[in-house]
């Protein structure tokens, strides 16, 4: 079984809809992250959390919100989706000071 | 702030050696990661350098010079499956602990 899972894997939605992307991990890591990736670009950090009570904005948090429901779960919401939020979204986990482990990604298309 | 530069694309021949460079200008430094990402897939960890010098791991090696703000990833005995994007990520020495990613270098290995 995968250590970091994301649901859904693919989603097509319309402008203005509320969307939630979910991430679960079985690695027991305290740190979790949400990134988006656009074609030809690297990973840009949206939000990150170092434990259940800790939520921090990344470099591109506008238009997004998150919830850390438990150590193992970190959800990303788009309150009112817009076309320029079309991207590949990755969740990741890590221990302090170590490499990140990524989920398989969610491909989101906003029409 | 953080600024990380990598070449956008590189091409090499199967069986050859290729060096992918990464230069960085960051407000702090506490290590540099290299990740491999095949098209449409999640990034996977390759190496981590925190001290100057060369780290070797099979066909892949990574070098760091902190004084020059420079790292490279060396891939030997190239195989077709090495065609992928290679992402450089810098970890700052602040308590924030999150990494900043470069835009990645897309490597194409030709027969």
Q: What is the pLDDT of residues B61-76, one digit of tens each?
A: 999 999 999 999 999 9
Residues of chain B contacting A40 with CB distance shorter than 8 Å:
8, 103
Cis, bond preceding A8 (omega within 30 deg of 0)? yes
Which residues from chain A sit within 8 angstroms of residue B100, using beta carbons? 45
- Residue pair A105/A89 in contact by the 8 Å Cβ criterion: yes
User: Given B33, B91, B98, which is nearest A45 (Cβ)?
Assistant: B98
Q: Quick one: pLDDT at residue A98?
A: 87
Cα–chain center distance at B91? 13
Chain B contacts of A33, Cβ < 8 Å?
98
Cα dihedral B50, B51, B57, B61 sign:
positive
pLDDT value of residue B43: 96
Span B33-44, pLDDT tens digits? 999 999 989 999
Condensed to tens digits (0 to 9), the pLDDT of residues A52-107 reads: 999 999 989 999 999 999 999 999 999 999 999 999 999 999 998 889 999 999 99
**Residue A97 to residue B30, Cβ atoms within 8 A:** yes
- Residues A104, B101: C-beta atoms closer than 8 Å: no
Which of the four pLDDT bands, split at 50, 70 and 90, describes residue B94? Answer: low
pLDDT for position A45: 94
Q: Would you state the pLDDT for residue A47?
A: 96
Grade residue B26 by pLDDT with cuts at 50, 70 and 90: confident
pLDDT at position B41? 93
pLDDT digits (tens, 9 = 90+) for A15-52: 999 999 999 999 999 999 999 999 878 899 999 999 99
- Structural contact between residues B47 and B73, judged by C-beta atoms closer than 8 angstroms: yes
Work out the pLDDT band at B56, boundaries 50, 70, 90: very high
Three-state secondary structure call for residue B99: coil
pLDDT of B59 reads 96
B20 contacts: CB under 8 Å, gap ≥ 6: B6, B7, B10, B72, B73, B74, B75, B86, B105, B107
Q: How far is B47 from chain A (nearest CA, A)?
A: 9
Is pLDDT above 70 for B95? no
């Amino acid at each position: 079984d995968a250590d970091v899972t994301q649901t859904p894997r693919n989603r097509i939605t319309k402008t203005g809809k509320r969307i939630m992307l979910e991430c679960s991990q079985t690695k027991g890591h305290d740190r979790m992250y949400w990134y988006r990736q656009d074609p030809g670009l690297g990973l840009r950090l949206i939000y990150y959390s170092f434990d259940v009570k800790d939520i921090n904005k990344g470099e591109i948090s506008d238009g997004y919100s998150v919830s850390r429901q438990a150590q193992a779960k970190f959800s990303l919401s788009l309150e009112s989706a817009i076309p320029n939020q079309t991207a590949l979204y990755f969740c990741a986990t890590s221990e302090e000071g170590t490499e990140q482990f990524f989920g398989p990604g969610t491909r989101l298309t906003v029409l | 702030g953080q600024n990380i530069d990598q070449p956008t694309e590189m091409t090499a021949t199967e069986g050859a050696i290729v060096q992918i460079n990464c230069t960085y200008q960051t407000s702090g430094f506490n290590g540099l990661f290299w990740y491999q990402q095949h098209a449409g897939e999640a990034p996977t960890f390759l190496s981590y350098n925190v001290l100057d010098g060369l780290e070797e791991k099979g066909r892949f090696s990574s070098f760091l010079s902190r004084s020059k703000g420079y790292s490279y990833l060396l891939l030997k005995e190239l195989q077709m499956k090495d065609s992928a994007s290679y992402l450089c990520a810098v970890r700052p020495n602040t308590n924030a602990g999150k990494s900043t990613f470069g835009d990645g270098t897309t490597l194409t290995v030709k027969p």
